[in-house]
Amino acid sequence: MKGAESLLRSRNLDNERLSFVNNPDIFAAHAKGHSNFHLLLASLNERNHDDANQKIAASFAEALASDGALRSKLNSREFASCLSALAKWEPEVFQRAAARLAARLETDSRLCDALSGSEISDCLIAFGKWHKDEACQHAGLRLAIRLANDEPLRLTLGVREVIECLNALCKWDREPICRAAGIHLAAGITTDALLWNDLNGHEIGSCLNALSKWHDHETCVQAGAHLARQIVTNDRLLSRMNGLAIANALYALGKWHGNEACFFAGRRLATRIVTDETVVRQLNGVRLANCLSALGEWALDSACQRAVVRLAKRVVEDGPLRHNLNGRHVAVCLHSLAKLHTEKTCRTAVGQLSRRLATDASICNRLSAKHVVNCLKSLGDMEDDPACRSAAVRLAQRLLMDSVLVAQLSNEAVSDCLTALSKLQNEAACRDAVTRLLHRVSASEAPHEGLDAAVMQRSFS
């Protein structure tokens, strides 16, 4: 039988490669020496991802998943190379192999300490891809410890490697060690600013998105502002950002909406949305909601207003997009669009989203306390619209039935809800919800703290 290396390089594709993958002894020579196993797996990524190549790659992944001896023989370079190759494929067998490798990393301190900066980046690409897998998460946290505690290691990372690390770490953004590692990496963006002036659209979008997970830390604010200034000043970069990059960047910049550089970058991206129909078509529901989330923060700016109206037109015209929005995204879109409810297109879009909220219990029942409050505030501004009234009634019913939700509301949130519901007191559910919230206030240890007196008076009346 022809050797594995020559088969993988063969231009006579299907028959020979399929016979290769169906041979039960294909790994015997490589598993013993293992020295070229990772290279063989990596070489498959250089070819087309057709069925034959996927079958071969899957067989390699199965070998990694099932052969503990093979996994234990891999050195740090081979280990990282295998993970990098596995991350290029989608089927479950590749995740299983990555999880088995992750399990070794969690328990093998010598291997973990031997990984170089670039190797850590390769490992995190795979662990971040399968970030919900428990073994991958634990291994990712183990690598985050190294990045957080080893400054010389961080200094060896190139710009692209830093971005890959940030993209993975932000998948576990609530883990303190990932936050610490992410903030240390963010510091390098402002320290070595010149190195970060040549990012492409995808890179700047994904980097901003990662940094925004720790948007409350000043280091990430400064790093985000530095990247924002590139969007402001680099016309070539701006023109090459596609819908995904624009959505990622806008969502992040909206987290720092009070920062001047982020505001001007947001305006520039808003102009792309207004003037480039291709960008608008590239926005799926999640991306559109992310754009609106940021643009709503600058709803008084004319450029951002035009972008909101353009996205409202997309919402109005695209029924499948509206139908596929989940509860959080419906709430985000509703909140931003209602800020421009005097615009006919935005008003129509709010009405359509309100009908989803009113008629789909799975949407209403999954909203967090924050989104319930924001929706009620938005709907209260359009109480004369029948669809908005129906949606407000549905939310009022949720407040009546969900004691956990009511307990989560701050006094400020209660005040916002009362303001909206007091405009709809001819609706029985809204009157009852007002009563429920007033009882919640009276039972509070500091019942009137954060509550507007005029709101209270209207509610009692």
- Domain contains 130: no
Place of tokens 């490669």: 17
Q: What share of the chain is helix, strand, coil (3-state, %, to 5)?
A: 80, 0, 20
What is the reported pLDDT for 57?
83
What integer pLDDT is reported at residue 415 of this predicted model?
93
Residue 366 lies inside a defined structural domain of this protein: no
Q: What is the Cα–Cα distance from 200 to 92, expressed in whole angstroms? A: 31
- Is 388 inside a domain boundary? yes
222: tokens are: 């400064």
pLDDT of res. 452:
55
CB 440 within 8 A of CB 414: yes
- What pLDDT is attached to residue 83? 94
Q: Is position 263 within any domain?
A: no
Q: How many domains does the chain have?
A: 1
> What is the structure's pLDDT at 197?
87
Query: Whole-model pTM?
Result: 0.87
- Check: CB of residue 263 under 8 Å from CB of residue 250: no
Secondary structure letter of residue 301 according to DSSP: S
- Report the alpha-carbon distance of residue 134 to residue 425 in Å, rounded: 49
Residue 204 lies in a domain: no
Residue 433's domain comprises: 371-461
- What is the reported pLDDT for 366? 92
Quick one: tokens of 300?
């008084």
Q: Which residue has the tokens 């029942």?
A: 365
What string of pLDDT tens digits covers the 461 residues of the chain?
344 444 444 444 444 444 544 444 444 444 444 456 666 666 666 555 667 778 888 888 898 899 898 899 999 999 999 999 999 988 899 999 999 999 999 899 999 999 999 999 999 999 999 999 999 999 999 999 999 999 999 999 999 999 999 999 999 999 999 999 999 999 999 888 788 888 999 999 999 999 999 999 999 999 999 999 999 999 999 999 999 999 999 999 999 999 999 999 999 999 999 999 999 999 999 999 999 999 999 999 999 999 999 999 999 999 999 999 999 999 999 999 999 999 999 999 999 999 999 999 889 999 999 999 999 999 998 989 999 999 999 999 999 999 999 999 998 999 999 999 999 989 999 999 999 999 888 876 555 555 554 454 455 45
Extract the tokens encoding 82.
């295998």
Name the nearest CA neighbour of 30 among 8, 55, 10, 4. 4
Buried/exposed code over 401-431 (b: 16+ C-beta within 10 A; e: otherwise): eeeebbeebebebbbbbbbbbbbbeebebbb
> For residue 392, is it within any domain?
yes
Residue 332 lies in a domain: no
89 is written with which tokens? 């494929």
pLDDT the model gives residue 25:
44
User: What does the alpha-carbon distance between residue 15 and residue 26 come to, in Å, rounded to a whole number?
Assistant: 15
**pLDDT score for 45:** 60
Distance CA 232, CA 347 (A): 31
Asked whether residue 442 is domain-assigned, the answer is yes
- Predicted pLDDT of residue 43: 62
Cα distance between residue 431 and residue 429, in whole Å? 5
List the one residue out of 389, 391, 384 whose CA is nearest residue 353.
Answer: 391
On the 0-12 / 13-18 / 19+ scale of CB atoms within 10 A, 216 is exposed
- Can you point out the beta strands (E) in 128-262? none
The residue written with tokens 């590239």 in the block is 282
